[in-house]
Structure 1
Amino acid sequence: MKTVILCGGFGTRIRDVSESLPKPMINIGPYPILFHIMKYYSYFSHKEFVLCLGYKSHVIKDFFLNYRVYTSDFQIDFDDNRAIKYLGSNLPIDWKVTLAETGLNTMTGGRVKKVAKYIGQDDNFMLTYGDGVGDIDLDELLQFHKYHGKILTVTGVHPPGRFGEIASTPDHSVIGFNEKPQSSGGRISGGFFVCKREIFEYLDDRESLVFEKDPINDLVRDNQMKVFPHNGFWQPMDTHREFLLLNNMYKNSKAPWIREKFSD
């Protein structure tokens, strides 16, 4: 099963942290938040990734093309035509990573549509954003998704009210999705979606297509969406304050999303 990660946005709200990096490449500790997210999925044995690239895509490509350089000590022998000897890697990985150019100005729905060809024949795929971490039980999320049989599952979380709020029935059917709520006590969209491949029937080729608007509202209309309630940790990195929060959690070894050591 593939995990699609949306990595192409401009990240305008966090430009005060770095204007030279796309948001998924801003670090938590020594590693990009994108790597944290992928490491989390990998812990649950989801190791095939499709990255939807856009803004400053070359930075993300460079990281994966030169992964050993970024994560290992190495020695350069200038007497031997600059031969490189790697002195071990602290972060061995066994992932397959597809890096897909989905357009500089393409919106989220358009990006997902553009990578349909990389999903293969899988019946389902994971979908998330490249700027948020959590301690969602991905095994339970997937089991829930397969059990209810609807096209889309969204993880419902409980933080700040500027994200897409979900209204649902007691059996977890989604009956409303408000992209920009003012304030209320309901759950909000934390991403961490699971999609059946039929999701592509709700997407078109418009670069302006926002996944969280027409496609999700159409799924709600057709009773094809469920919410997976998550009461644990979830935190996006949209602002400088959130950048500091996540880095302090990492520094103090209080990062709930880390399930296995990043280094020896």
Structure 2
Amino acid sequence: MKVVLFCGGLGTRIRDYAENIPKPMIPVGPQPIMWHVMQYYSRYGHRDFILCLGYKSNVIKDYFLKAKPSAYSDCVISDFGNKVELLGERPPDWRITMVDTGVWRNIGERLMAVKHHVENEEYFLANYSDGLTDAPLPEIVDRLKKSGKIACFVAVRPPFNFHLAEFDQQGAVHRIRSSQESEVWINGGYFVFNKRIFDFIRDGEELVLEPFNRLIAEGQLLAYRHDGFWRAMDTLQDRRILEDMVERGEMPWQVRSSGCDPS
């Protein structure tokens, strides 16, 4: 199954770090966060990626064009570096299609720009490229297929706590409670689509606004509620949290597949 990765935005909320590199290339540990996202899909057998490039697209292209298997594996180097022998498991052989979808396009426009790359796929996957999770991908895909609906996204609880206030039109507060005690769920940025999704997108529209509302009106949108690990890298604080997890060796997003069928 092909995986569309949206990696062309400006990353304005983390610009202090991402001024010179695109947001998906910000490192978490020794590798960019996008590499961790791709590893997640790869462990489930999905290794055909379509990258929707935009801001600083050359940085992403250079990263993959210059990447060598020896950079990710134990190896033996001889003949003054001319001979490299990989040890143990070889890194996955990814097929990566890189498409410049423009700097100022939104997610819906980027998806439409790569439509021809997935037109022969009954189902395909998509991702914002800036969040990590341990959500059970095969179960999510299977649930969408069995439902007969067109689209599914992973719904997660906000990773931070805030206070929800309920009040009337005059401002009189009726209730204050923690967000963790509520039924607040947000879009986690992990999607599964049937190819009919393109029938619901119009020129210039953002993916999760008008198109998703059309899907809702026809009962074609599914949410998969995931109570496990999820964290997006929207701010420098988010990055510090992910970096701390890597330093402690706590990386739940490094899922282990169980011989699942990637079709």
8 Å Cα contact 1:63/1:70 also seen in 2: no
1:222 corresponds to 2:218: yes
2:231 corresponds to which of 230, 235, 246: 235
8 Å Cα contact 1:158/1:186 also seen in 2: yes
8 Å Cα contact 1:2/1:49 also seen in 2: yes
Residue matched to 1:213:
209
State the alpha-carbon separation in 1 of the partners of residues 201 and 126 from structure 2: 14
Residue matched to 1:6:
6
Residue matched to 1:62:
62
Give the unaligned 5+ runs of structure 2.
162-178, 257-263
State the alpha-carbon separation in 2 of the partners of residues 240 and 194 from structure 1: 28
Residue matched to 1:202:
200
Q: Which structure's CA Rg is the greater one?
A: 2
- Return the offset for 1:86: 4.0
TM superposition score normalised by structure 1: 0.82
Which has the larger displacement, 228-237 or 11-20?
11-20
State the alpha-carbon separation in 2 of the partners of residues 145 and 69 from structure 1: 35
8 Å Cα contact 2:11/2:18 also seen in 1: no
State the alpha-carbon separation in 2 of the partners of residues 256 and 3 from structure 1: 21
- Return the offset for 1:259: 2.8
The one-letter code sitting in structure 1 at the alignment partner of 2:143 is: F
8 Å Cα contact 1:113/1:204 also seen in 2: no
8 Å Cα contact 1:161/1:188 also seen in 2: no
Distance 1:55 1:76, change over 3 A: farther
8 Å Cα contact 1:153/1:228 also seen in 2: yes
- Return the offset for 1:75: 7.3
State the alpha-carbon separation in 2 of the partners of residues 161 and 77 from structure 1: 53
- Return the offset for 1:237: 0.2
Residue by residue over 1:107-137, the C-alpha shift from the partner in whole angstroms, topping out at 9 and shown as x without a partner, is 0000001111111411000111110000010
Distance 1:226 1:187, change over 3 A: same
Distance 1:25 1:91, change over 3 A: farther
- Return the offset for 1:140: 0.4
8 Å Cα contact 1:114/1:205 also seen in 2: no
1:32 corresponds to 2:32: yes
State the alpha-carbon separation in 1 of the partners of residues 209 and 119 from structure 2: 26
The one-letter code sitting in structure 2 at the alignment partner of 1:102 is: T
Distance 1:252 1:226, change over 3 A: same
Alignment of 1:22-171 (within 5 A): 22-68=22-68, 71=71, 84-86=82-84, 88=86, 92-160=91-159
The one-letter code sitting in structure 2 at the alignment partner of 1:107 is: N
8 Å Cα contact 2:70/2:86 also seen in 1: no
Residue by residue over 1:152-208, the C-alpha shift from the partner in whole angstroms, topping out at 9 and shown as x without a partner, is 11111111589xxxxxxxxxxxxxxxxxxxx763211112111000001112343xx
Partner SS state of residue 104, structure 2:
coil
The one-letter code sitting in structure 2 at the alignment partner of 1:185 is: E
State the alpha-carbon separation in 1 of the partners of residues 69 and 147 from structure 2: 44
Residue by residue over 1:25-66, the C-alpha shift from the partner in whole angstroms, topping out at 9 and shown as x without a partner, is 000000000000000101111111111111101111111111
State the alpha-carbon separation in 2 of the partners of residues 212 and 230 from structure 1: 19
1:258 corresponds to 2:222: no
Residue matched to 1:187:
185
State the alpha-carbon separation in 2 of the partners of residues 134 and 38 from structure 1: 12
Residue matched to 1:172:
none
8 Å Cα contact 2:2/2:124 also seen in 1: yes
Residue by residue over 1:91-117, the C-alpha shift from the partner in whole angstroms, topping out at 9 and shown as x without a partner, is 622111111111111100000011111
- Return the offset for 1:77: 8.7
